[in-house]
Amino acid sequence: MSILIRGGTVLSSTGSVTADVVVDGETITAVVAPGSWPGNADTVVDATGKYVLPGGIDGHTHMEMPFGGTFSADTFETGTTAAAWGGTTTIVDFAVQAKGSSLLSTLDKWHEKADGNCAIDYGFHMIVSDVNDGTLKEMDACVDAGVNTFKMFMAYPGVFYSTDGEILLAMQRARANGGTIMMHAENGIAIDQLVAQALAAGRTDPVQHGLTRPPELEGEATHRAIQLAKVTGAPLYIVHLSAAQALEAVAEARNDGQNVFAETCPQYLFLSIEDLARPDFEGAKFVASPPLREKSHQGALWQGLRTNDLSVVSTDHCPFCFVEQKDLGRGDFSKIPNGMPGVEHRMDLIYQGVVGGELTLQRWVEVTSTTPARMFGLYPRKGVIAPGSDADIVVYDPNARQTLSASTHHMNVDYSAYEGMELTGRVDTVLSRGRVVVDGAGWHGGKGHGKFLARELNQYLN
């Protein structure tokens, strides 16, 4: 099966060129001058007036994630299908070590959930929440299995939380085995006191979730994680960075040449604590950690994306239905499951940064695809349109208009965090390893097409 994508503007992280892209089977075989391909193709996709870019890579999703007595609402099937609709052709999801479980049994469990169910390719990070001798040894086996990124939590005491000493030990191990530590950097010990005080004072609304997790406590934890990384020599990747204070700490470390990287998420660029303060419990739709911040942080985050102090945009997709799930926290904001839906609209939302002059086209591709490919050891198989790479390709119509809504999205959740938001630009056609999964006629993908990706090491280390 061969496909010719004709007449489009092919984008990369370094430039753009009008070219035809030839796909044979699962692979890109040629990128040639327009009209110059002599061969026949089984299928021709007309990309005239459109961009042709490498499929998006969402390095931070939570499908079927256990949280607060429930599970995030997207399965690997529904979540990867929604991702594909939005031009994301790879996810890296988080396997979650429960206290008392081993890392390898956790990995098995996540393979059971995902294998045979994904519509696009997928890899795993490992959440380490029980640091002990066995866990530390198993980190090496995870690296060998292509799961070489380990998320730890300075938040959520009693659940996922690790002490500074435990973080230090895991960092030493990562330093030795080539892994990268990913950090949820919020000072959970201090936050828990603020939460208890709010509840004791009868302040129970969703906005309290934001008020009890101030940006200073993200800045502090980010700084602390960076110092621990410096002492141990481990590479560090700050996940879901939301606050200017945290960005400052990352920038300082990067200026010093440390292997410190960070991602932000669309919700921190487009939404704010004002959404958390919506009346009638509607703010619960926006409860995620770190919380949505004051709008004043957004400019700093866009700037960080330009300077590369923020080098990746991921979603932290972790959807919980408003009815039934977010409801668990009526009368007590601390019981609202933490997380927001977003995997479907990352490419579109960050494209608004191009429309608005915040980012170049090349930077859009870089932060949504090429850098995550390199950061998570998938390049050049993913993250670039070049001969030999997987044919994960998005044809994007830069002039189409769309309105985001739960009534039209494909995520398995009953609300959109961006309900009614009008966007310029829209996915036209999506290929996942050479298979047209989305086009104007609809969905042609299916569960089981997506394959597990054993990942190489981070390609950015000094």
Q: Which residues bind Zn ion (CB under 5 A)?
A: 184, 316, 439, 441
Q: State how far the Cα of 447 lies from the Cα of 145, in Å rounded to an integer.
A: 23
- Binding ligand DUC (rule: CB under 6 A), the pick from 60, 184, 213, 345 is 184
Q: Which residue has the tokens 């007309």?
A: 46
- Binding ligand DUC (rule: CB under 6 A), the pick from 264, 289, 298, 412 is 289
Q: Which does 433 bind (CB under 5 to 8 A by kind): ligand DUC, Zn ion, none?
A: none
Alpha carbon 125 to chain centroid, angstroms: 11
- Binding ligand DUC (rule: CB under 6 A), the pick from 3, 195, 247, 288 is 288
Tokens of 392: 């994960």
- If one asks whether residue 96 binds ligand DUC (CB under 6 A), the answer comes out as no
Q: State how far the Cα of 416 lies from the Cα of 412, in Å rounded to an integer.
A: 10
Which C-beta is closer to Zn ion: that of 315 or that of 389? 315
Q: Which does 441 bind (CB under 5 to 8 A by kind): ligand DUC, Zn ion, none?
A: Zn ion
Which C-beta is closer to ligand DUC: that of 224 or that of 426? 224
- If one asks whether residue 311 binds ligand DUC (CB under 6 A), the answer comes out as no
Count residues near ligand DUC (CB under 6 A): 8
Q: How far is CA 196 from CA 76, 202, 214, 247, in A?
A: 35, 10, 15, 28
Cβ count near 330 (within 10 Å):
14
Backbone φ and ψ for 456, nearest 5 degrees, come out as: -80, 180
Alpha carbon 440 to chain centroid, angstroms: 26
Backbone φ and ψ for 400, nearest 5 degrees, come out as: -65, 155
Which C-beta is closer to ligand DUC: that of 37 or that of 320? 320
**Cβ pair 81, 410 in contact under 8 A:** yes
Q: Shortest approach of ligand DUC to residue 78 CB, angstroms?
A: 17
Which C-beta is closer to Zn ion: that of 13 or that of 325? 325
Q: Shortest approach of ligand DUC to residue 107 CB, angstroms?
A: 19
Beta strand pairing status for 43-46 and 70-71? Answer: unpaired
- If one asks whether residue 338 binds ligand DUC (CB under 6 A), the answer comes out as yes
Q: Shortest approach of ligand DUC to residue 153 CB, angstroms?
A: 7
Q: How does DSSP classify residue 328?
A: G
Which C-beta is closer to ligand DUC: that of 342 or that of 445? 342
Which C-beta is closer to ligand DUC: that of 63 or that of 354? 63
Beta strands in 241-363 (DSSP E): 260-264, 312-313
Position 231, amino acid: V
Q: State how far the Cα of 121 lies from the Cα of 92, in Å rounded to an integer.
A: 9
- The footprint of ligand DUC on residues 26-65 (CB under 6 A) is 62
Q: Which does 192 bind (CB under 5 to 8 A by kind): Zn ion, ligand DUC, none?
A: none
- Rg over alpha carbons for the chain, rounded to the nearest Å, is 21
Q: How far is CA 210 from CA 253, 268, 341, in A?
A: 27, 12, 18
Tokens of 62: 């939570």
Q: Shortest approach of ligand DUC to residue 325 CB, angstroms?
A: 12
- If one asks whether residue 128 binds ligand DUC (CB under 6 A), the answer comes out as no
Which C-beta is closer to ligand DUC: that of 22 or that of 288? 288
Q: Shortest approach of Zn ion to residue 162 CB, angstroms?
A: 13
Which C-beta is closer to Zn ion: that of 12 or that of 222? 222
Q: Shortest approach of ligand DUC to residue 19 CB, angstroms?
A: 40
Q: Shortest approach of ligand DUC to residue 230 CB, angstroms?
A: 24
Q: Which does 439 bind (CB under 5 to 8 A by kind): Zn ion, ligand DUC, none?
A: Zn ion
Q: Which does 187 bind (CB under 5 to 8 A by kind): Zn ion, ligand DUC, none?
A: none
**Cβ pair 12, 368 in contact under 8 A:** no
Q: Shortest approach of ligand DUC to residue 317 CB, angstroms?
A: 9
Which C-beta is closer to ligand DUC: that of 260 or that of 287? 287
Q: How does DSSP classify residue 343?
A: T
Q: Shortest approach of ligand DUC to residue 338 CB, angstroms?
A: 4
Which C-beta is closer to ligand DUC: that of 12 or that of 80? 80
Which residues make Cβ contacts (< 8 Å) with residue 176, sequence separation at least 6?
none
Q: Which residue has the tokens 């193709």?
A: 41
Tokens of 399: 């002039």
Q: State how far the Cα of 384 lies from the Cα of 419, in Å rounded to an integer.
A: 32
Which C-beta is closer to ligand DUC: that of 283 or that of 425? 283
Q: Which does 338 bind (CB under 5 to 8 A by kind): ligand DUC, Zn ion, none?
A: ligand DUC
Which residues make Cβ contacts (< 8 Å) with residue 99, sequence separation at least 6?
129, 130
**Cβ pair 55, 89 in contact under 8 A:** yes
Q: Shortest approach of Zn ion to residue 240 CB, angstroms?
A: 6
Tokens of 377: 């050891």
- Binding interface with ligand DUC (CB under 6 A): 62, 67, 184, 288-289, 318, 338-339
